[in-house]
Amino acid sequence: MLIRNETEGDIPAIGALVTEALGLLAEATGTEARIVEALRAERALVLSLVAEERGEILGYLAASMARIGAQEGWGLIGPLVVRPSRHGQGIGSALMAEALARLRLNCRGAALVGDPGYYGRFGFRCFAGLGVAGCPPEVVQALPFDASTPCGELIHHPAFGLSQTG
């Protein structure tokens, strides 16, 4: 399996994979692929990684820049998706490891909204005072790369507002 940057030819497969994988989640809004498209169109993606095996896209991870309170320089991970038939094979972990290695070069930390049971294995955790409007606090997590303590509202790119407008 190869973890690499997306290419223009990957874009249709990425959209289909994001829709397929996240469509299985009760909390999915159906706008996730459009959010990725909007981030890409505005050149807001700092990472857009695919996991490929024998020419097939098995997983995808996007990251954009965010602010937590007054702290600039956080990498916001999301979405991270894996083809449902390939869950449990380390694809998501490989994408996350590569993303964190790259984000460490230019960010003060990484943040995301997701399952603490999954993302905790990578060092993500909740912090008092860290939040996103409309999200339960237990799913808003961060992984500081320095001595920063993330506190305040996680401010993401406006493209994420698509999830609220349908």
* pLDDT tens digits, one per residue of 26-68: 565 666 888 889 899 999 999 999 999 999 999 999 999 999 9
pLDDT tens digit sequence for 115-145: 999 999 999 999 999 999 888 999 999 999 9
Orientation of helix 11-22 relative to helix 32-41, angle to 10°: 150
Q: Which residues pair with 152 in a beta bridge?
A: 130
Question: In whole angstroms, what is the distance from residue 132 CA to residue 118 CA?
Answer: 19
Length of the chain: 166
Q: In this predicted structure, what is the pLDDT of residue 85?
A: 94
**Domain range summary for the chain, segments of one domain joined by +:** 2-165
Residue whose tokens read 């409007």: 133
pLDDT tens digit sequence for 81-92: 999 999 999 999
Other C-beta atoms lying within 10 Å of the C-beta of residue 161:
12
Question: In whole angstroms, what is the distance from residue 59 CA to residue 45 CA?
Answer: 16
Q: In this predicted structure, what is the pLDDT of residue 40?
A: 93
CATH number of 2-165: 3.40.630.30
pLDDT band at residue 99 using 50, 70 and 90 as cut-offs: very high
Q: In this predicted structure, what is the pLDDT of residue 30?
A: 64
